[in-house]
Amino acid sequence: MNRIRVAIQKSGRLSEKSLDLLQRCGLRFARSKDKLYWYGKDFPIDLLLVRDDDIPRLLLDGVCDLGIVGENIAEETMLENTADNNLEQLRKLPFGGCRLSLAVPENSGFQTAADLDGCRIATSYPALTRSILSSRGISAETVKFSGSVEIAPGLGTADAISDLVSTGTTLRANHLVEFEVLFESTAALYGQLDQPSVEKQDMIDRLLSRLDGVLLAAECKYVMLHAPRDAVDTITRLLPGAENPSLMNLEGDPDRVALHAVCRETVFWEHLEALRGAGASAILVLPVEKMLG
């Protein structure tokens, strides 16, 4: 049967946000908590809930058509499987942000990545780490750890680590100092390069178009305000990423108008203060739920 299968992380940092994103695209699933397969209710798209490390392989083997996984894992898999390199990044997603960084014990004397030439680095991402270092002319030996990489220097197994960092708390707790970012990562939607059937491609395109609408809407804000009629141009220029605004008369106030606009960039408090400085009042900023161009 022509149904799309999407792999997402079962339980971890990306699970909730991946599911939420698909639900905001209008997908609903018949689910049961302990089951790994969720059947799509009104769209022929089913979910497979798995460990994140398995997602690239499920795509490469054609078991799933789409998958949401960190770029760190997708890149590592592609570097490990250069002969079977069929993953295609379809959309970068606004969650799961982290960086793969080099870190060394406090007072170790290492200053830059170049100082690690010939040293041992513990990491869960050996291929990615080696590839980035070697592109910079640094050759280091990697020791593969599948978890708790931060304990390696204390055990004497490695001189440094290359690990994912988000807040830096784990490094500090283990008396390690982050000294160089090798790779910036977010979650992303991946597909495979093999041409799917026309029906499947059509469903993937529909999903991508909805996804674009959701991602765009998440960045957009609908701004409503009252403005002096003669300050409309100035105020429009102060609205971040706004297209032509709509203007409406205000009953009983011929000198002022109501102005509505969609801002396609983040609206900060500084923008609102500047708008008020230019004579705007009754400023409202509303979230946009869906957009379709």
Rounded to a whole number of angstroms, the minimum distance from the CB of residue 67 to Zn ion is 13
- Work out what residue 107 binds among Zn ion, ligand PRT, none; the CB cut-off runs from 5 to 8 Å by kind: none
Comparison of 15 and 234: residue with beta carbon closer to Zn ion: 15
Give the Cα separation of 87 and 74 in Å (integer).
8
Rounded to a whole number of angstroms, the minimum distance from the CB of residue 213 to ligand PRT is 24
Residue closest to ligand PRT, measured at CB:
70
Comparison of 96 and 126: residue with beta carbon closer to ligand PRT: 96
Task: Name the one range near Zn ion by CB under 5 A: 30-38, 51-59, 109-117, 162-170.
Answer: 51-59
76 and 127 in contact (C-beta within 8 Å)?
A: yes
Written as six digits, the tokens of 262 are 């969609």
Give the Cα separation of 182 and 283 in Å (integer).
43
Comparison of 27 and 165: residue with beta carbon closer to ligand PRT: 165
Task: Name the one range near Zn ion by CB under 5 A: 46-54, 157-165, 231-239, 259-267.
Answer: 46-54
Using CB under 5 A, pick the residue from 10, 44, 53, 240 that binds Zn ion.
Answer: 53
Using CB under 6 A, pick the residue from 6, 19, 25, 73 that binds ligand PRT.
Answer: 73
Length of the chain: 293
Comparison of 75 and 203: residue with beta carbon closer to ligand PRT: 75
Comparison of 135 and 167: residue with beta carbon closer to ligand PRT: 167
13 binds Zn ion (CB under 5 A): no
Comparison of 176 and 225: residue with beta carbon closer to ligand PRT: 176
- Work out what residue 206 binds among Zn ion, ligand PRT, none; the CB cut-off runs from 5 to 8 Å by kind: none
Using CB under 6 A, pick the residue from 26, 44, 105, 168 that binds ligand PRT.
Answer: 168
Write out the residues near Zn ion by the rule CB under 5 A: 52-53
Binding residues for ligand PRT, rule: CB under 6 A, are 9, 12-14, 51-53, 70, 72-73, 96, 98, 163-170, 185
